[in-house]
Amino acid sequence: MNPSARSRTARRFGLTVGVLIIAVVAIWIWHFDVPERLLTLMHQPTQIRNFQRLQEVFPSRMVRRSPAPFRFERSLEDLDVTYRYHGKVSRLDEFLQRTTTLGLLVLKNDRIAYERYFFGATEESRFTSWSVAKSFVSALVGIAIDERRIAGVDRPIAGYVPELKHSGFEQATIKDVLQMSSGVDFNEDYDSAFSDISRMYLMSFLFGSRINAYPARVGSKRPPGEAFDYVSVNTQALGMLVTHVTGKTLAADLEEKLWWPLGMEGDAYWITDRTGADAMEYAFCCLNVTLRDYAKFGRLFLRKGDWNGERIVSEKWVDESLAPDKSYLRLTGPNRPEWARPDWDIGYQYQWWVPAGDDGEFTGIGVWGQYLYVNPRANVVIVKASVDPDFDRDMETIAAFRGIVTALQARRQAPYGQSE
């Protein structure tokens, strides 16, 4: 057989095998009734519905609502908001439509100043967080340090999580992991079907593989503490840390340490890799919460860990979490990630993004347009839930949030009798 004939035969054989594999996978998926799970990640109409009810699609653990709920007063305003981005003035209403927003809530001076829902969502809808969950996990790590369950962020994470020994995390400190600087070898490209994050979602969401297996077997591509590399497997390792030192599930620890003390009004749900007592939460994502309860968590950090006179998180932890303390964590200029837009001007610290500016802003950011934004100087918290297929709109979103802050401040400064 000549080389070209062998090549054609090999291609035909490879194509046949590929078709058989795809067919087997498709039959498996349909047999086990998981097409909706696949569509949740890939199909916008399904996302619009499921991002409000993810706990009905995947296994989850409940985080029970507080027996003594705290409710914000409401002083709703019909804000006429514009903002400037790349030299163009845009309107907030147009931006909300363009980004397929499901819900937007604005808290000003502890009052709900603006609250709107779209696409059938309501104030009782539990919107999925995606990576905004990372900020919650960071708070649980801080609380464990406050309780002396963890000696400090400079301790090796593998010293608390035996499964991480002999993995890429073996030499990393807890601080390295919090700062996305562990040096582990993991590809977070959401546009690639063959990236580590895509395969992790596929194997765990669809085929039931254990989520903690990924941190335990990940390799290393550089020494820890040298460079920022945003990869979600870091937060899963932090989730393992919290469960080891507390002896509780993440959902149970969240309920005890944050949900009940903050007077959360709604039950939350944290997606898990399976059902049963040995299930593990997806620490890096998939916490499902009402907008009002997200806002309470933002208010806690706005108030530096104090909740109506009760210390929930130490002020030291809050300050430390929001101040990038290494040059490579200021993600602009030569430190800007290759996947970021040229106008990217933001920093990163302990699972929080820190925009450049003088207002002390910080934000949690989740894929497909989830945001928990806090502006301490203006005493504003903004929560946005979306199904935005454009993963690269973070700086424009921050510009829109700044436009909201400006509009609120303008109304408060209006002559007596013309503002609320």
Using alpha carbons, select from 407, 401, 336 the residue that is nearest to residue 371.
Answer: 401
- Give dist(CA 60, CA 287) in Å, integer: 9
User: What is this structure's pTM?
Assistant: 0.91
Q: What is the pLDDT of residue 206?
A: 77
What mean pLDDT comes out for the span 352-364? Answer: 96
Q: Element (H or E) spanning 91, and its range? A: strand 88-91
What is the residue-wise DSSP string for 92-115? HHHHHHHTTEEEEEEEETTEEEEE
CA-based end-to-end distance of the chain: 85
What mean pLDDT comes out for the span 108-131? Answer: 97
CATH fold of 60-412, please?
Beta-lactamase (3.40.710)
Instruction: Give residue-wise pLDDT tens across range 132-166.
Output: 999 999 999 999 999 999 999 999 999 999 999 99
11 burial (CB, 10 Å; 0-12 / 13-18 / 19+) is: exposed
| Helix, strand, coil percentages for the chain (3-state, nearest 5) | 40, 20, 40
Q: What is the torsion angle, in degrees rounded to the nearest 10, for the CA atoms of residue 159, residue 164, residue 165 and residue 169? A: -90
Instruction: Give residue-wise pLDDT tens across range 318-356.
Output: 999 999 999 999 999 999 988 888 889 999 999 999 999
Phi, psi of 259 (to 5 degrees): -65, -50
Domain spans, the chain:
3-49, 60-412
Q: What is the pLDDT of residue 236?
A: 98
Per-residue HEC secondary structure of 316-354 comes to: HHHHHHCCCCCHHHEECHHHCCCCCCCCCCEEECCCCEE
Q: What is the pLDDT of residue 332?
A: 92
- Give dist(CA 36, CA 46) in Å, integer: 8
Instruction: Give residue-wise pLDDT tens across range 98-117.
Output: 999 999 999 999 999 999 99
Using alpha carbons, select from 186, 182, 294 the residue that is nearest to residue 227.
Answer: 182
Residue 382 has pLDDT above 70, yes or no: yes
